[in-house]
Amino acid sequence: MTIEFVFEDVVRIYDTDAQGIAHYASYYRFFTNTIEKFMRDKVGIPYPNVSDDLWFVMVETHATYKEPVRLGDNLTITISPSSLSKKTIKFDMKIISKGRLTTQGYVIQVAINPKIWKATEIPDNILKSIVEA
Amino acid sequence: MTIEFVFEDVVRIYDTDAQGIAHYASYYRFFTNTIEKFMRDKVGIPYPNVSDDLWFVMVETHATYKEPVRLGDNLTITISPSSLSKKTIKFDMKIISKGRLTTQGYVIQVAINPKIWKATEIPDNILKSIVEA
Amino acid sequence: MTIEFVFEDVVRIYDTDAQGIAHYASYYRFFTNTIEKFMRDKVGIPYPNVSDDLWFVMVETHATYKEPVRLGDNLTITISPSSLSKKTIKFDMKIISKGRLTTQGYVIQVAINPKIWKATEIPDNILKSIVEA
Amino acid sequence: MTIEFVFEDVVRIYDTDAQGIAHYASYYRFFTNTIEKFMRDKVGIPYPNVSDDLWFVMVETHATYKEPVRLGDNLTITISPSSLSKKTIKFDMKIISKGRLTTQGYVIQVAINPKIWKATEIPDNILKSIVEA
């Protein structure tokens, strides 16, 4: 069973646009903030550039926007990690504000060796830490 | 049949990140640049805030990243519009660089009346211009 | 005497660019994060849109970059507020990383009434809280 | 005498914020767009990473905001280059919209050899092309 990791964030002025709501691409920043903190605090590795031999590169992103969030809104962001293969991890993300699910999405990343820019297996201990974090 | 609209862009320094490639969220800026130009040049309306009664708000976004693009790379971006309903439009997007498909994605937007923040039908002439542009 | 307020931040992947360092415009995001937290925690007001009658709008920004900061670097950001007039506040900012001053800058903001988009005096209690925070 | 180079841009949705105007940091994107095009079209070099031996890194940025610009506004941006030394170039920038000067600023960059991350002299032919462009 995946235990969710929770991150608190806030909608800042540069996240918003002239519709008075958070710009749709800003949500990917909320996702990244959460993933990075999850990786640092729960898995214990830097992210997305783990080492000279291991980077996580993005291969797919998706978000559905159910309700807008606005300047100053407090956000609770949850992350549910899973492995799609020994080389690929998926993070399911939810953003809750004022008790309501406002946004849902996911990002999929593949591990690569940046020296040859080829997919590589995630070391067992790291993969285990991610999916069991 | 949908005729595709084509937009030329370039990867700028602020689009890139410390992996030496365009950051995954920058692609949504490439999409937006293309959509905005399509709306202005082909449909003849400002975007996404068309008027005091009509805004397009984002409800879903998706991208798959097949190959990275790098600082200075020239991009050819195609947009294929379709209507999912009288209130909802989808833009299928492709990014080609150096003759290869590097990124594929879509964005779905719903028309709202911003005064009451409720979905509204897209005026016939606008909807027609978008899907037949 | 101005007591400085201190904020901790970190260089994230979207802050960096293909030079492998934080992009020069990202520093203004570090500044904004710090100012916003200062305003919320020390002054007790939302920022930059305080109320329907009071917004802070940016009129001048400046930064000098002495040493680069990189992905994952921890940042200590200090803010020293001062009032240039009853309508104008200046925040002097410093960013320290690994014990060294890496960036120095300031932002100047004027208070406006957004309904008429004209400069307005900052209420005494708010101005006092800002400069004595 | 410096001949100014002129670039046309437009305020896009992601440039704006919840004050309904272009966010203050977006102006640095307008500056960068202009500089990059100037370097490519007039000087004939990629920017800011010219080659493996020559990068331009930002050492100082400044902007004053006289009047706001809004979603969809057309911008005319002028760039006036000058050399402060054999290693340092300054670009004075102006943004005009609807016939009015809305923003004025400058950015200063130093040439470095990225392999050793030390300041280096700008090759004569490039420096000459920049200041006489």
DSSP labels, A33-67: HHHHHHIIIII---SSEEETTEEEEEEEEEEEESS
Give how far B37 is from chain C: nearest CA, Å: 25
Residue with the larger pLDDT of the pair B77 and C132: B77
pLDDT band at D4 (very low <50, low <70, confident <90, very high): low
pLDDT tens readout for residues A90-107: 999 999 999 999 999 999
**pLDDT of res. A1:** 41
pLDDT of residue D5: 86
Q: Which residue numbers in chain C have pLDDT < 70?
A: 1-4, 133
Chain A contact set for C49 (CB, 8 A) = 13, 71-72
**Distance, CA of B27 to CA of C92 (rounded, Å):** 34
Report the residue count for chain A: 133
ipTM of the complex: 0.94
Instruction: Please give the pLDDT value at position C5.
Output: 86
CB contact under 8 A, D17 and A19: no
In degrees and rounded to multiples of 5, residue D36 shows phi and psi of -60, -40
Tell me the average pLDDT of chain A: 95
Candidate CATH numbers 3.30.70.20, 3.40.50.2000, 3.10.129.10, 3.60.21.10; the one for domain D5-132: 3.10.129.10
Quick one: pLDDT at residue D98?
A: 97
pLDDT confidence of residue B132: 85
The reply to whether the predicted model has a pTM over 0.90 is: yes
What pLDDT is stored for residue C4 in this prediction?
A: 67
Q: How far is D46 from chain B, CA to nearest CA, in Å? A: 7
Q: What pLDDT does B1 receive? A: 41
* pLDDT tens, residue by residue, D31-43: 999 999 999 999 9
Contact at 8 Å (CB) between A60 and A95?
no
Question: Residue A13 has what DSSP assignment?
Answer: G
* pLDDT tens digits, D43-89: 999 999 999 999 999 999 999 999 999 999 999 999 999 999 999 99
Is the Cβ–Cβ distance between B72 and B10 less than 8 Å? Answer: yes
Q: From CA C32, how far away is CA C12, in angstroms rounded?
A: 15
What mean pLDDT value characterizes chain B? 95
Determine which helix (DSSP H) or strand (DSSP E) holds A119, and give its type and residue range.
strand A118-119
| Chain C residues contacting D via beta carbons under 8 Å | 18-19, 21, 24-25, 28-29, 32, 48-49, 55, 57-65, 68, 107, 114, 117
The pair of structure tokens assigned to A13 is 């002025």
Q: Domain residue spans in chain D?
A: 5-132
β-bridge mates for residue A118, sequence order: A113
3-state secondary structure of A23: coil
Query: Measured between CA atoms, how close is D83 to chain A, in angstroms?
Result: 33
Residue D95 has pLDDT above 90, yes or no: yes
Six token digits for residue B21: 């490639």
Compute chain B's Rg from CA coordinates.
15
Per the CB < 8 A criterion, the answer to whether D19 and C55 are in contact is yes
> pLDDT, tens digit, for every residue of A29-71?
999 999 999 999 999 999 999 999 999 999 999 999 999 999 9
Cite the DSSP H helix spans in chain C. 26-38, 124-132
Residues of A in contact with B28 (CB under 8 A): 24-25, 28
Phi, psi dihedrals of residue B65, rounded to the nearest 5°: -110, 110
The encoded tokens of residue C79 equal: 């803010």
Q: How far is CA D109 from CA D29, D32, D61, D88, D105, in A?
A: 15, 12, 9, 6, 14
**Computed over its alpha carbons, how large is the radius of gyration of chain A?**
15
